């Protein structure tokens, strides 16, 4: 495959990913950023791959505990309770900042009405800090109507350059069937 074909395929993939994420974003209420303790400046590709694997594994454990925090076992009994969780791992292309670490941007939705921002922040901070790569440095912001798409564009921004569309962690992305059916 020549470079022109590769660029065409990449553009089509990015466009399809953007469309999919935009449709999911309409159902999201919160924007979350999680920091890891894994520096990214000047490391080899092999080391970066190990750090990405560790981050994905810890994100999986975090997501399972987050689901349990919000619904107990409710999401297992009734898929309609499953929170929307769209994760993007960034920082792999760091050639300029010695203090930068791998970090994760997440869009959250379909949350129980009792899940206030304060409760979410406390629970998220405790669950994330208990993982092997997590820190207490988290940021949770409410998405107001109309900003959901902007947040999804932000978390998928590396797909438009250098990261070859691999920033979205689809292995840790989840949404209830009732929402997926509308996409």
Average pLDDT over residues 168-172: 89
Cβ pair 156, 88 in contact under 8 A: yes
For all residues of the chain together, what is the average pLDDT? Answer: 85
- pTM comes to 0.86
d(CA 168, CA 174): 12
**Cβ of 18: how many Cβ atoms within 10 Å?**
17
User: Would you say residue 161 has pLDDT above 60?
Assistant: no
pLDDT average, residue stretch 128-151: 85
Looking at 64-68, 99-103, 135-139, 164-168, which range is the least confident one?
164-168
| C-alpha–C-alpha distance, residues 52 and 65, integer Å | 20
3-state percent helix, strand, coil for the chain, nearest multiple of 5: 50, 20, 30
Kindly write down the DSSP assignment for every residue of 66-91, as one continuous string: HHHHHHTTHHHH-GGGPPEEEEEEE-
Higher local confidence (pLDDT), 125 or 12: 125
pLDDT score of 165: 47
Q: What pLDDT does 158 receive?
A: 57
Round the CA-based radius of gyration of the chain to a whole number and report it.
17
Q: What's the full length of the chain, in residues?
A: 183
**Of 178 and 163, the one with more pLDDT:** 178
The answer to whether the CB of 47 falls within 8 A of the CB of 84 is: no
pLDDT tens digits for range 90-103: 888 766 777 788 99
- Mode of pairing for the β-strands spanning 101-109 and 84-90: antiparallel
pLDDT tens sequence across 104-137: 999 999 999 888 899 999 999 999 999 999 999 9
- Provide the pLDDT for residue 150: 66
Q: Considering only residues 101 and 146, tell me which one the structure prediction assigns the higher pLDDT.
A: 101
């Amino acid at each position: 495959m020549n470079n022109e074909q590769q660029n065409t395929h990449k553009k089509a993939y990015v466009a399809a990913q953007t469309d999919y994420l935009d449709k999911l974003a309409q159902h999201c209420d919160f924007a979350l950023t999680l920091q890891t303790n894994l520096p990214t400046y000047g490391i080899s590709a092999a080391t970066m791959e190990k750090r990405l694997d560790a981050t994905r594994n810890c994100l999986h454990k975090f997501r399972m505990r987050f689901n349990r925090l919000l619904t107990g076992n409710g999401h297992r009994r009734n898929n309609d309770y499953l929170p929307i969780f769209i994760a993007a791992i960034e920082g792999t292309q760091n050639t300029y900042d010695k203090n930068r670490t791998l970090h994760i941007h997440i869009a959250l939705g379909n949350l129980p009405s009792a899940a206030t921002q304060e409760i979410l922040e406390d629970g998220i901070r405790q669950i994330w800090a208990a993982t092997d790569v997590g820190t207490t440095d988290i940021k949770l912001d409410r998405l107001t109507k109309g900003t959901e798409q902007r947040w999804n564009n932000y978390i998928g921004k590396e797909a438009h350059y250098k990261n070859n569309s691999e920033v979205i962690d689809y292995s840790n992305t989840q949404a209830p069937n009732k929402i997926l059916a509308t996409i």
